Amino acid sequence: MTVTTDVPAGTDDLHLEQPYAYRRRELVEPDWRRLPGYRDVTAEEWASAQWQRAHCVKNVKQLRELMGDLLEDRLYADLERDQAERATMSMLMPPQMMNTIVPAGPADGQSWTEAFYADPVRRYMLPVFSDRRTDWPSHPHATRDSLHEHDMWVAEGLTHRYPTKVLAELLPTCPQYCGHCTRMDLVGNSTPVIDKLKFDLKPVDRYDAMIDYLRRSPGVRDVVVSGGDVANMPFKNLEAFVARLLDIENIRDIRLATKALMGLPQHWLQDDVRAGMERLATVARARGVHLAIHTHVNNANSVTPLVADATTAMLEAGVRDVRNQGVLMHGVNATTTDLLDLCFSLLDGAGIMPYYFYMCDMIPFSEHWRVSVDEAQKLQHGIMGYLPGFATPRIICDVPFVGKRWVHQIEEYDHERGVSYWTKNYRTGIEKTDPEALSRRYEYYDPIHTLPEAGQAWWREHGPTADHDAALDKAAASRAAASAQAATPAQV
């Protein structure tokens, strides 16, 4: 469909297209029986959260069993090499998410392997070695905990970065593991490249310490209850923690973070979960607290009728809103059309409010996904004016030691070297005695391959890249050798 603009008198031969043509898109649950391993799966099994969890793809062998000979060996080898040498997250894909890869089968003339390689969900959930950059696989300033959340822990797993808000990491697991996870330092199983940090305290002691801090902190009004993904917590434990938050007078906003609303909607459709959410929402409403769900959807293909059903179930249970925080990534969604398609699918189809798109953080081996601040600003410009204002997401750069900044809040920008400078208007917990905190400029770095040649030459000369990448490569190689001997499949 071509959308035409209003044509001024005398120019009626002009029919200029809009940069983006809106079309209402009906949500479709792809037919899982097109995949050999799901050929005999019944609708009842598919709807079961237990069946979904028990049939996740956790390694290349299981992917082979699912896809049969639809995929060529080169793809499996590419994936295996990535797991051994690059992956910061282990493999974990519920069938629900697997089924959104190549949802309608390959295009005419395209092989399954080509379609699988090109798929946006595959690109971030099952990254392969050939996806990654070889010139600058990691930025020289990439770090494991790129947002320095652990530096700001006021109790184990409780990050107090903003004056009025905290992030409570209740658990280090999810029903699905995303290749680009910003909490790759803590979340998921260790990979050959990354040994994960472990919580020291038992969960019950950690939660007590968090609640204790919040009771003593009347300036905090907003708690993001996250992980990991709260869908991996036994619901009674999640309910007990949220109920304790609801008892704290100063807490006015509670947001439950769960990508599983999309990745495993069957979890949120279970009777006991719906009933428990209704109990929590009823208490929240009575106390004037806003209880919301924040999810993480990166591409329109992931928005299916089951995702809409789970969202409806949560809204009917009484949560105030379901909002989406996506991550901006090349090959996944970093075009105006992809972002708007996703936002309209969320809003029209599923009743999910587009809220943020984060720039992918500076973790190791993420350069092929990351966009520059300049590109992010252009994308923000590109999506303005199509969605209702309240549903137009802000594109956010999460600047280390600063926090979330809208991409146009930049103080200064060295386009040649790809260094942007940012300031902040509050002190985090680690700056209480730092008189310079509010006047200092904090740096963020664009991917080097996006820079002009002069900027790339500067980084080749000055960046600590040779040592940095060699160290990561060496660690990867030695761990890959050790893990090949052990050959232990990933476990949730």
The residues binding ligand SF4 (CB under 6 A) are 174, 177-178, 181, 183, 187, 227-229, 259, 296
CB of 380 to ligand SF4, least distance (A): 22
- Please give the C-alpha separations between residue 457 and each of 134, 224, 415, 419, 489, in angstroms, as whole numbers: 16, 42, 14, 14, 42
Query: Burial, 82: exposed, middle or buried (Cβ in 10 Å; 0-12, 13-18, 19+)?
Result: buried
Least gap, CB of 262 to ligand SF4 (angstroms): 9
* Bond prior to 389 in cis (omega within 30° of 0): no
Minimal CB distance residue for ligand SF4: 181
Q: Which is nearer to ligand SF4, 296 or 405 (CB)?
A: 296
Identity of the residue, 137 or 227, whose beta carbon is nearer to ligand SF4 in the bound complex: 227
DSSP string, 154-207: EETTEE--SSSEEEEE--S--SS--TT-TTTTTSS---SS-PPP---S-HHHHH
CB nearer to ligand SF4: pick between 267 and 417: 267
Angstrom CA distances, 86 to 71, 178, 431, 459, stand at: 22, 14, 34, 22
Residue 444 exposed, middle or buried by CB count within 10 Å (0-12, 13-18, 19+): buried
Question: Which candidate, 326, 431, 414, 324, places its Cα nearest to that of 374?
Answer: 414
**Could you tell me the smallest distance in angstroms from the CB atom of residue 176 to ligand SF4?**
6
Cβ distance to ligand SF4 smaller for residue 187 or 214: 187
Q: At what angle do helices 235-246 and 203-215 cross, to 10 degrees?
A: 10
Nearer to ligand SF4, 232 or 372 (CB): 232
Give the span between the Cα atoms of 424 and 442, in whole angstroms. Answer: 8
In the bound complex, what is the minimum distance in angstroms from residue 171's beta carbon to ligand SF4? Answer: 10
Which stretches does DSSP call E strand in 190-260?
222-226, 253-257
- Sheet bearing 403-406, strands edge to edge: 153-155, 158-159, 165-169, 222-226, 253-257, 290-295, 321-328, 353-359, 394-399, 403-406
Q: Quick one: which of 168, 186, 180, 184 has its CA closest to 294? A: 168
Q: What are the Cα distances from residue 489, in Å, to 92, 269, 320, 386, 483?
A: 11, 29, 40, 46, 10
**Least distance (Å) between residue 169 CB and ligand SF4:** 9
- In the bound complex, what is the minimum distance in angstroms from residue 12's beta carbon to ligand SF4? 51
Nearer to ligand SF4, 66 or 178 (CB): 178
Q: Which is nearer to ligand SF4, 227 or 354 (CB)?
A: 227
Residue type, 458: W
Nearer to ligand SF4, 92 or 313 (CB): 92
Nearer to ligand SF4, 322 or 410 (CB): 322
Q: Which is nearer to ligand SF4, 102 or 187 (CB)?
A: 187
Q: Report the distance separating Cα 436 and Cα 452, nearest Å.
A: 33
Query: Cβ 487 to ligand SF4, closest distance in Å?
Result: 23
Least distance between ligand SF4 and beta carbon 298 (Å): 10
- We find the least distance from the C-beta atom of residue 36 to ligand SF4, in angstroms, to be 27
Q: Cα(401)–Cα(361) distance, rounded to whole angstroms?
A: 13
State in angstroms the smallest separation of the CB of 174 from ligand SF4: 3
Determine contact, residues 260/268, Cβ cutoff 8 Å.
yes
